[in-house]
Structure 1
Amino acid sequence: MGNEIFEYGFHLVSELEIAANFIWAGIKEVNKIRDFEVDIPIELSDLMDKTVDYGRAGGTFQEANAHLIVRENQDKIFTALYHFSIGIERVQKTILKLYLFPKDRDEDYEKSDLELLKSHKMEALQQRLKRLFPELHFEKRENNLLELLSHYYNHERYMNLHADTKEDNYYHLFIEFLKRYSKDLTNRKTVLEVIGSSVGRIIAKYYSILENLSHEKGVFVYEINYQKESRYVYLAYQNRNASLQIQFDKIRRAKQELILYLIEQGKAIYPVDSLEIDSLDFDFAELPDMIDYILNENVLNDFTDTVESFDDDIFYEVEDKKEFQRIIAERKEILDNFYK
């Protein structure tokens, strides 16, 4: 039985890691969107006609450009929703699979459970899990996002393959979701936080169920591999609002600090005096790891903890919370303006 439990857990851990890869890819994708405010009702089928004909119809370059931005945003949002929905569904199925342990063969499962494990029914999976775990409770915003993802996954994930597709409901539904909970689409930081915290809270609540169930079943699938992106996704509950965006921003900050350090080492060929801040004092012996982290996003060489330790040194030096927050906020602003 021991080997059976180990093998069962190994496969479920692999499934959770795959799910985390999808979810984290979704966070990366929404962070590529520079402007959420551009929202023009548009049909995909005649997008290019509208863009090409603006000059003849007396339209403006700004209008044509706005349509192109919308199209780019649609692509990114489509990809993000695809990643989020696949990742969350895989987490849902992992919980159900673990609940059914020691059953492990198709013939052992009830027909309804087998269908849930083999089909793509996010909403039905969610309802099944809520019946199994009454403590699983989502706030309105989280439920709205789950409903949106379920609609997208069931009805629109293959829309680009159908020539008769006229509308892109997923895009407008997502923009409406963002308007409802971020209030101001011009505030990109707030919009990204709405997305990151909504997805993060959903995952955090599923992960809590998974952890408790693992102890109950004696199959420990919640143990995180710190060398993989699952670390970012499943440990995000440690951030404020369980936000995946906070984790993304930490990683971005660490990369910015590393780049600044590398630039300062070569000031002779790339002067950065105009930044008015000095680089953090990284260990130059770790240069190969720095480059690996920046280029390949190698989680093993994650420098976010290093940057946070430098921040701790600043805090102990100034011994004033507000002054510390001001210094860090100013530093982040300078770095953000430098690395667009």
Structure 2
Amino acid sequence: MEVAGNPIRVQSLVQDGKTVVVPPQYVQPPETRPQHNNLQKEKKSFHVPILPVIDLSKTSNSISEQLGLACREWGAFHVINHGVPVELLDEMRRVGRSFFEDCTMDQKLSYSCDPNSPASEGYGSRMLVSSNDTVLDWRDYYDHHTLPLSRRNSSHWPHFSSNYREVVAEYSDQMNALAQKLLGLISESLGLPNSCIEEAVGEFYQNITVCYYPPCPQPELTLGLQSHSDMGAITLLIQDDVGGLEVSKDGEWVFVNPLSDAAIFVILADQTEIITNGQYKSAQHRAITNAKNARLSVATFHDPAKMKTISPAFEPRKYRPVRYADYVSSWYTKGPEGKRNIDALLL
């Protein structure tokens, strides 16, 4: 679907209030639909596991033990008392929402990303290029290239809010510092030197993606973001109070309840699973939609350089070494589909 050369944005489908049926290209096959009603029944009948919450102000021994358990069992956890000012988190959510809700569609389209190039900077809707995806996600996004500084060109970012670019730049620096701290703590929890995982990853290539999930007239048929694990090393995510993120555990989808505005959700990605030789796992996750409220989240991805080769830090190796550029190419060629890309590296 395109209008004047631009792919349709999901937000434009619902803004006029006339869309009461999800267009067919957004309808998930039965086996991947979220099954909202069944999930609600199950939640009333069975104990629902809760994602770990780790207080980074605690003693190092306490943090190390909690981190190890969270990384082994979930590959994801919340952190609090992390040192990032809550005012900055609020500002990042505010300017992100302002772009989607206060700018006209023409203004937003002036920042369109290249629809034929995966992970290009700008305003878009597709995770994959059109030749690869079969079902579209019910979301729009704005992707910023923020690190290394040689990739950061704030003139590519929206300027409709007076401080949008300043907020994104400060948020980038704060997330970079937190990601470095967390990888150090994760290394130590495995008995490795603090710098081990960070050195294995190398200089961070950081992207900040603001995701906007408009209300959906038939949420039982769609996904805001299909099931996948992230490609890189570590992802730091904040969300609003609407919620919609789910993490897979033991074959079941667990809803990630939004905590306070100060909490940051940490998601281990595939390269960290490889480096830890599978002792810690990347988290398979997805986003569901709802019929009433738009949802906003901000995901900050920290990846290796494309030419970096990633290999396990432990013997015997369970994964083949992989050049990150080849891993990314495979991910975008085959599509995510849960964790099939990292599973293909198992020895």
Which category describes the TM-score, using the shorter chain as reference length?
Answer: under 0.3
**Structure having the larger proportion of residues in strand:** 2
> TM-score, length-normalised on structure 2?
0.23
**Structure having the larger proportion of residues in helix:** 1
Larger radius of gyration: 1
> TM-score, length-normalised on structure 1?
0.23
